[in-house]
Amino acid sequence: MTIFIGYDASGNGNNWTANNFDQTESSPAYCNVTDTPTPYLGGGNYAVLNPLATLKGTLSDGNLKVVLGDNDNAVSVSTFELKALDKSYAEFVMTATTASTYYVGVIGYTTTSNRCLYNGSTGNKHINGVATGYGSTWGVGDVIGVAYNNSSGELTFYKNGVSQGAIAFDITSEDAFFCVYDGTSAATSTFVANFGQRPFAYTPPAGFLPLHTGNLPDSTIVDGSKHFDVVTYAGTGVTTHAITSLDFPPSLVWIKARDIAQDHTIYDQVRGVRAQLESNLTAAEVVESAGNGLVSFDSNGFTLDGDTYTYGGINSSGYNYVAWNWKANGTGVTNTAGSITSTVSANPTAGFSIVSYTGTGANATVGHGLGVAPSMIIGKRRNGIADWMVGHSNVNGGTNPFNYYMLLNTTAAQTADSTAWQNTAPTNTVFYLGSGGNVNSNGATNVMYCFAEVESYSKFGSYTGNGSADGPFVYLGFRPAFVIYKKSSASGSDWVMADNKRNTFNVLNKELYANLSAAEGTVDLLDFTSNGFKCRRSHTSQNESGQTYIYMAFAENPFKNALAR
């Protein structure tokens, strides 16, 4: 039985009158659509037009209708990226327009210049701004189907069920989405999208599927808390204070006092218990005395000694703390993949390893144990004063990123220096060290934390600020548990840290900084969503117009398995 909006199913006749809801089934704006359909009894959701990423547009009808206008860059994108499925299909109908140019297509939201659009007014295809002849013109009432084949890198547009021809367009290098686009200033265009919520007007090509979470591939990590998690706790000042709320044995524990200025403290199993480094300082490693420090890495957490520090430490009575925790693989094994022999504790499933080695002062390679290339490396000299070095695959917009380094303990921008990483990206087996002294001085001991992307669990990318409190939306493909971000294109901003335990609902507003000892502050930062995060501040530290920010993010759970809150 079809039940319409406002209908009282009890039979008592207490029906409501639907207002601004189109319930004509033949209409492309028909509102009585199913979000969790019968074929997917396990639950799930279809794509819609993304209200967090729509630029210069007004959404309605369950985020399937958008009025774009008053700007020549008015665009609305889907909530699913196209890399999520091998073959995907959607349909769009323009129901009204005053524009002279209007488009349906695919766009890279991170880099909107990467796009392939079908121009209705001319029939041309526009690939990254270059227009060439393609197909028939189209207008109000025409159904434009869009099919993307991720494997072959081909995009095909259909007008009322008729193929206009395949276009070679590879979007695998970045996140890209189905989109509708109004290209005329001071004009409006209204589009209605169908991602499968209602029957398609035309049969999709064989093998092409609607954007529905039930069609997404299963993640290798369904529950992110089995490999990374955040815990908050109150200090006791008592020895053998056990933190037991993790679902895994941690190998890296990063602790910060929340309600008082106190240095960050980092421990890992390779360097051993009580051996601390501080992310906000250049200081050498300190092995803490009895009565202080982390004294064991346990099967479900870690144990702390009493704390004799006057101002906070990691377990002082009356203070509150947060700990960010990663699973590696114990104390480590010998790795000879590089020219320098290293000790490596690796968790390839989650793309994380801890690497300890002794520098040579000359160009070298070091094995990391992941089996895939790391996207981000954070390293520190252990036995001397030195900055924390950061290599990231999206520094400098992803162009020769390992010709640059950043510093975790400062607000400095990216710095070009071929002596840091030899201007060479890591491989599946090793990362490269130049003759630079921070993490490769002759005879110096060092530690590196290596992170590789794991689909639907971790991501290391970049975004461009827009200078608005309605900031950029960053697609991750999962609901994040933890995000660190930093402006890379210019100096003067901190490494901001946000997580799902200090804030359990949006807006996340509890701020800590990896490069500062400051106590936790309160200011709007981000929304965590089922598929990414949304910037909610125009501050230079996260959203200065035109500036580039790099980030690292770890999942609470994949988009496919995201739960309502």
Distance separating alpha carbons of residues 305 and 293, to the nearest angstrom = 6
Six-digit token string for 449: 């934390």
Is-contact 521 179, C-beta < 8 A? no
Distance separating alpha carbons of residues 412 and 554, to the nearest angstrom = 24
Q: Measuring CA to CA, how many Å separate 481 from each of 284, 320, 528?
A: 30, 19, 8
Six-digit token string for 516: 């500062």
Q: Is 5 exposed, middle or buried (0-12, 13-18, 19+ CB in 10 A)?
A: exposed
Q: Which of 211, 147, 110 shows the shortest CA–CA distance to 532?
A: 110
pLDDT of residue 55: 74
pLDDT of residue 41: 40
pLDDT of residue 4: 53
Distance separating alpha carbons of residues 73 and 68, to the nearest angstrom = 9
Distance separating alpha carbons of residues 356 and 445, to the nearest angstrom = 7
**β-bridge pairing 102-107 and 115-119:** antiparallel
pLDDT of residue 23: 54
Which SS3 state, helix, strand or coil, does residue 33 take?
A: coil
Q: What is the DSSP letter of 289?
A: P
Q: Report the helix count and the strand count for the chain, using DSSP H and E.
A: 1, 40
Distance separating alpha carbons of residues 72 and 16, to the nearest angstrom = 40
Whether the link from the prior residue into 67 is cis, omega within 30° of 0, is no
What is the layout of strands, in order, in the sheet containing 228-234? 228-234, 320-326, 252-257, 265-268
Is-contact 158 118, C-beta < 8 A? no
Distance separating alpha carbons of residues 201 and 451, to the nearest angstrom = 45
Encode pLDDT of 350-401 as tens digits.
Answer: 999 999 999 999 999 999 999 999 999 999 999 999 999 999 999 998 899 9
The runs of H, that is alpha helices, within 256-304 are none
Q: What is the DSSP letter of 438?
A: T
pLDDT of residue 110: 58
Q: Which of 436, 401, 441 shows the shortest CA–CA distance to 420?
A: 436
Is-contact 367 338, C-beta < 8 A? yes
Which SS3 state, helix, strand or coil, does residue 137 take?
A: coil
How confident is the prediction along the chain (565 residues), in pLDDT tens digits per residue?
A: 344 556 666 667 677 766 655 555 555 444 444 444 444 444 568 899 999 887 778 999 999 999 998 655 788 999 988 888 889 999 999 999 998 999 999 987 655 567 899 999 999 999 988 999 999 999 999 999 999 998 888 999 999 999 999 999 877 656 789 999 888 888 899 999 999 988 999 999 999 999 988 888 778 898 999 999 999 999 998 889 999 999 999 999 999 999 999 999 999 999 999 999 999 999 999 998 888 899 999 999 999 998 766 445 899 988 999 999 999 999 999 999 999 999 999 999 999 999 999 999 999 999 999 999 999 999 999 999 999 999 999 999 889 999 999 999 999 999 999 899 999 999 999 999 999 879 999 999 999 999 999 988 999 999 999 898 889 999 998 999 999 999 999 999 999 999 999 999 999 999 999 999 999 999 999 999 988 999 998 888 889 999 999 999 999 988 776 655 5
Q: Measuring CA to CA, how many Å separate 98 from each of 67, 68, 92, 121, 188?
A: 11, 10, 17, 12, 5
pLDDT of residue 311: 46
Distance separating alpha carbons of residues 110 and 235, to the nearest angstrom = 42
Q: Measuring CA to CA, how many Å separate 146 from each of 90, 93, 104, 183, 193?
A: 5, 11, 8, 19, 11
One-character DSSP codes across 502-529: T-SSSSEEEEEETT--PPPEEEEEEEEE
pLDDT of residue 109: 64
pLDDT of residue 37: 46
Q: How far is CA 351 from the centre of its chain?
A: 15
Distance separating alpha carbons of residues 548 and 464, to the nearest angstrom = 5
The partner residues of 118 in beta bridges, in order of sequence, read 104, 125
One-character DSSP codes across 203-215: PPPTT-B-SBGGG
Count the Cβ atoms, other than its own, within 10 Å of residue 287: 11
Is-contact 279 378, C-beta < 8 A? no
pLDDT of residue 562: 65
- Long-range contact list for 112-115, CB < 8 A, 24+ apart? 112/73, 112/75, 114/171, 114/174, 114/176, 115/179
What is the C-alpha radius of gyration for the chain, rounded to an integer number of angstroms? 26
Which SS3 state, helix, strand or coil, does residue 296 take?
A: strand
